[in-house]
Amino acid sequence: MCRRCVLTCFFCLCLYLTAIPAASAEGTDPGMDNLVAWWKLDDGPGSTTVTDYSGNGRHGQFPSATGHPASADPKWVVDHEGGMSLYFDGTDYIRCGGGKNPGPHEDPNDLSSCTDPPTWADFEGQSFTIAAWVKEVNSNNWATFVGKGERAYKLQMLFARTLVHWAYPRTPAGGYAAGDAPDNVWNHITGMWDNDQEYASIWVNGELAGTRTDWADVAAATDPDAPGRRIDSDCEVTLGARVNEDWGTTGDEDNRLFKKCGCPQPAGQPYAGTAMDGFLSDVRMYNRLLTSDEMIYIFTVGLSKATQPDPRHESMLEEAPQILSWMPTDGAISHNVYFGENLEDVTAGAAGTLLGSTNQNALPLNQTLESGKAYYWRVETVTADDTIAGDAWNFELKRSKASAPNPPDGMKWVDPNTVLTWEPGADATMAMVYFSKNRDDVSVGMVGEMAMTNKYDPGQLDPQTTYYWRVDSMTTNKMAEGDVWSFTTKGPDVGGLLGSYFNNENLQGNPVLTRVEGPLAFEWQNDSPETDVVAADNFSARWEGLLEIPITDTYMIMARKDDGAACWIDGEVVFYDMLASWGLSEVKGFVELEAGKHEIVVEYFDVGYNAQIELLWSTAGIPLQTIPIQALSAPPKASSPRPADGAVDVAVEDLTMTWSTGNKAVKHHVYLGQDRDAVSAGDSSVDMGQVDETTFMPQVERGKTYYWRINEVNDLDPESPWAGDIWSFTTAPFVVLDDFENYSAEHIVYSKWQDSWGMQDLVNNEWVELAEGNGSGGEIDTVYAPYVETGDVHGGSGQSLPMAYNHNAAVSYSELTRWFDPSKDFTADDGAILGVWFKGRQLPTSNVTYADDKFTLEVAGSDIAGTHDEFIFAYKSAESADLIARVDEQEATNDWAKAGVMVRSGLDDDSAYIFCFVTPQNGVVVEMRGSDGGNQSGVVTQIQDVNAPHWVRIQRTGTGSVICWESENGNDWQELYRTVFFVDTPPYMGLAMTSHTSSEVNTTIFSNVTMDGAPLTLANVEYKEIGVPFNTPAPLYIAVEDEAGNQAKVEYDPEDQAVSPTNIQEWTEWLIPLSELAARNAALDLTRIMRLTLGVGPEADADPEGTGRMLYDDIRIYNSSHLAPTTRVRVIEDFDAYSDQAEVQGMIDADSIEIVYEP
């Protein structure tokens, strides 16, 4: 093995290799005599050949250099001495030759037909030695370092972690010598076969580790024609893996085990299951035995670090060692020895870990060590030129005392029917168990009970009671007194977190339900968390409060959820998975927590179908389990402020501050003011006194920032008061007519706004009618209280007003009307301008045409995925059919734009489907939704590196079987997926396409479209835009009415006359001077306005039909100084063409600069 350091120069793009002088080795140099092959494995990056340094030309090759897959090539890396080595990932190997390829005339079961002479790798009738440096990372059973097939010889790791195996099948049943060698560190492994003495031995780091001579006892059968002959193999020599051989039929032992001809490989990957996962370097093969001195030499040659630690690395000791010793290198002048319980500290040489320095190869360990603990140490070698950090070694002292109690020491909320278990002390044969409610009785061993196993059943325990116990481990000659442990049984199922539910997926707006609940282990499936209050699908929730930690430890906090969840403890993120919605999954995080109470927040959202959330924990001692309800408590502090913390443009009119109460509060102390420090200190200037309810109506000014805090009070609790967080809000500098923020489950939008259904209020869960419907086609179309929109709002507000409009021959307009009782003075506080924010949706974007035997589909849709699809579908109803199409051209509006053939249960946006489609960048894919209203399953089949033009095909039989296919030419079909698709009525089959972006239209062309061999045309298909939101063009208007019934109406005049206001897709503010309303009706009294109406329609064309959805938000009255939103500056001159100030000044002097203000 060549010891070299590697320097990569990024600037000159050259690789420099600089030799490091090697230290003198121990032992005797075996020289080059009888060296059959020597692969140092130091060729380095870029090389696919491993050089044979024996001079025999037996160079090894990477698989890719021999026609095998490049994925099986190992990787060049730096080895443990600074030189090169190869990393094998569990599937890699190197081919080194040495095999035979028998001709077709040879019968591998007929030994007389074996005519090929032995190769250099057969060692026919010879003793031989194989040695290598190895670092196995993830030990697998039979992981091979060096081998010649299955039956000749192999140096390998047997089972996991420690057993190194030198297999040399002297008999049909095989034979081996084995020894211990820890993984995850470099080891020098040598296997030797003494042919004369029939003696196998294995050496680890220069020391004899195992032998084998009892070959007669190993064999269960022998070959009568060749008794005692070793088994051969014609396979090649490989590094990092061995070739599996097909041994034939079990039972036919003569032919199965004694094949000598050929290398019969099984079908598939012949190296599967035999490859190492680790590092390999400096492999040598000799056709003779090495002496022990030669063995020491090839182990120590070039080593710069101390080796052969005593105690051995990863050893388990009965007693603490008195001395640490090691093998030094010849160049060593002295050694620094580091020792401690922490691996990182010992590796870094942290303060307190230096045990001492010595010029010997041993150092006394003058420390008291504890049983059951692991200790780390390393030896730093000091030479004349350098100081070399040694490898970190470790050993562990057997634990004499019982350990790992279950329940863990200090655990709370334990089941009263629990059975106690523990880890016995080393070599314990029985135990004495002491158990009591009295700690002193257990400490002195008052009454004990013998246990022959590591279990003890104390019987039915009292609830909410602390118990103490101790286990004394007993061996044949001593007893080890155990520690006193304790646990507390659980009491009533009391506790829980404060949960807030929202009828949207993003925790927007005001919660529709707030309650204390727990544990967090809910499986709602398709039901609502609260019928008629919380949506059964597409809802979100937040739980907050305190989490009590029973034992200081590192905790795994996990959510088992469908769909998204996130968790914070003490303000730090534990896990966050709120970005995807792919059904049931788990997310977890690890956090170190001290025993006691910690603030916790959990958030969750559901997107259709199968809603569930479970919060679990585990530690080294606590098995994974649902966090018990007793560990959860609602927050003692006030929470969920309204206005929300940091809210701006808060309405002064009818402002009511609200909050959620702390779990122990009886009263609430309110602090409010414009000085944050005064609120923080609870100064008398901001003290608003105590209130009984969780509401407070402040006196505030417009355009000011206020800070507030609620201290929760309970005079009977010694922990009272519980100081709250400091929140803030900024009031609007204008009059707010309605910002929709205060609507809640208790105060619904229908109580103020009238639509086609009228005005209603919820009183004690009963609907009370306030007014009849307004006779229009306008409807507030949300289905859950407070019946506002939360997914799309203006600015930072959390709620807006939706209006669905639906016009026909009978109804040509739509209205929503806000009632003011008492009437509203629009001119108060210098009121001069009415402002309303609104937002529409796009025009219909879809189209299907047919010309020149080709279909052209156009649409702008977000996707066909999740629980809602947006796409264009050209279809026919067919119980069974074979639909074929070629995707000719596909626009790349998105890497995941989709175009292909579909079978679909219905024409709703959440119907079940199977879809075989082509994408611009993600190949040909099959996706499906298994049931109506369900969630899309994601990719079920995908072939990469395929795009248009490409053929796709979908078949459905009368029995419901569906098969998806793809083809490059329309003749040679490859099956992609097969399933069963049951529907109650004949499904729809056709062409489907989505742009995968709602803001851009995709155009895709299909050709050669046939169903059951017959061409499809526009004459025999229907088409529909499914799920794509759009608005048909229509005018907008606003109307007001005073107490006397006088009305005035203003229509919106769009800046771009080519765009209908219902198709404006950005939030836009419409500003109407009150003078304009007065001009429309001189009798209108703007100081006594009773109603404000938002209207759509009627359409200007002859066809009155129209549908769509508008959003409105932040309806305000500004004073006369509010001009900025109406001002646009048009640039007449940008001065970029002028080279100096003189030219610009000349323009000014000539009055050639014009600034135009456009209202």
Chain segment 1095-1104, per-residue pLDDT in tens: 998 866 545 6
Question: Would the CA dihedral through 93, 98, 103, 107 be positive or negative?
Answer: negative
Q: What is the mean pLDDT of residues 1130-1154?
A: 48
Report whether pLDDT(105) > 70. no
Q: Looking at residue 16, what is its pLDDT? A: 24
Mean pLDDT of 496-509: 90
Q: What is the pLDDT of residues 878-889, one digit of tens each?
A: 989 999 999 999
441: region left, alpha or beta (phi > 0 left; psi from -120 to 50 alpha): alpha
The percent of residues above 90 in pLDDT, for the chain, comes to: 51
Helix then strand count (H, E) for the chain reads: 8, 88
pLDDT value at residue 27: 73
Q: Where are the alpha helices (DSSP H) in 929-983?
A: none
Please state the rounded mean pLDDT for residues 114-131: 80
Residue 262 has pLDDT above 80, yes or no: no
Number of C-beta neighbours around residue 752 at 10 A: 20
Count other Cβ atoms within 10 Å, centred on residue 256.
Answer: 16
Q: What is the pLDDT of residues 53-86, one digit of tens each?
A: 888 889 999 988 888 888 889 999 866 555 688 9
Q: What backbone phi and psi angles, to 5 degrees, belong to 508?
A: -95, 155
Contact 495, 418 (CB under 8 A): no
Q: Does domain 94-113+123-300 have CATH number 1.10.3470?
A: no
Q: What type of residue is 974?
A: Q
Whether CATH 2.60.40.10 fits 639-733: yes
The token pair that represents 731 in the structure block: 């009031």
Return mean pLDDT, the chain.
84
Per-residue b or e along 44-72, where b marks 16 or more CB atoms closer than 10 Å to that residue's CB: eeeeeebbbbbeeebbbbbbeeeebeeeb
| Predicted local distance difference test score (pLDDT) of residue 1133 | 45
Give me the pLDDT at residue 1129, please.
35
Across residues 763-786, what is the average pLDDT? Answer: 85
What whole-number distance in Å separates Cα of residue 867 and Cα of residue 371?
58
Predicted confidence band at 319 (pLDDT cuts at 50, 70, 90)?
confident
Least Cα distance to 621 among 414, 469, 424, 408 occurs for 408
Centre a 10 Å sphere on the Cβ of residue 117 and count the other Cβ atoms it contains: 8
Judge whether residue 248 has pLDDT over 50.
no
At 515-536, the pLDDT tens digits run: 999 999 999 988 899 988 898 8
Window from 258-272, 512-526, 893-907 with minimum mean pLDDT: 258-272
Angular region, 1115: left φ>0, alpha ψ -120 to 50, beta rest: beta
Per-residue pLDDT at 815 exceeds 70 = yes
Flag whether pLDDT at 496 surpasses 50.
Answer: yes
Alpha carbons within 13 A on the beta-carbon side of 30: 26
Give percent of the chain above pLDDT 70.
Answer: 84
CATH code of 847-1026, in short, is 2.60.120.200
Q: Which two tokens stand for residue 286?
A: 């000799």
Domain with CATH 2.60.40.10 in the chain: 307-397, 403-489, 639-733
C-alpha distance across the termini of the chain, in Å: 83
Classify domain 749-833+1032-1123 by CATH architecture.
Sandwich (2.60)
pLDDT of residue 223: 41
Residue 301 pLDDT exceeds 90: no
497 is written with which tokens?
């977190």
Q: Do the beta carbons of residue 831 and residue 1119 sit within 8 Å?
A: yes
Class of CATH domain 307-397: mainly beta
Task: Give Cα separations from 617 to 443, 624, 879 (angstroms).
Answer: 31, 6, 50
**How confident is the model over 300-329, as a mean pLDDT?**
83
Give the span between the Cα atoms of 511 and 603, in whole angstroms. 13
Q: Which residue has the higher pLDDT, 1121 or 524?
A: 524
How confident is residue 293, by pLDDT bands cut at 50, 70 and 90? confident
* Closest by Cα among 336, 332, 328 to 378: 336
Confidence class for position 1123, pLDDT limits 50, 70, 90: low
Please write the tens of the pLDDT for every residue from 539-571: 999 999 999 999 999 999 999 998 899 999 999
In CATH, what number does 403-489 get? 2.60.40.10
Non-local (6+) Cβ contacts of 3 within 8 A are 19, 20, 22, 81, 82, 83, 302, 304
**Count of alpha carbons within 13 angstroms of residue 775, beta-carbon side:** 1
432/8: higher pLDDT: 432
pLDDT per residue as tens digits for the range 586-597: 999 999 999 999
Mean pLDDT of 421-442: 92
Query: Where does CATH 2.60.120.200 sit in the chain?
Result: 847-1026
- Rounded to whole angstroms, the Cα distance separating 647 from 657 reads 12
The answer to whether 94 and 72 have CB atoms below 8 angstroms apart is: no
Does pLDDT of 471 surpass 90?
Answer: yes
Q: Tell me the CATH number of domain 497-633, given options 2.60.40.10, 1.10.3660.10, 3.10.20.30, 3.90.182.10.
A: 3.90.182.10
Average of pLDDT values for 672-695?
94
Confidence at 653, pLDDT banded by 50, 70, 90: confident
Q: Please, where are the H alpha helices in 738-778?
A: none
Is residue 10's pLDDT more than 70?
no
| Model pLDDT for residues 18-30, shown as the tens digit of each residue | 222 333 456 788 8
Task: Using the predicted structure, report yes or no on whether residue 731 has a pLDDT greater than 50.
Answer: yes
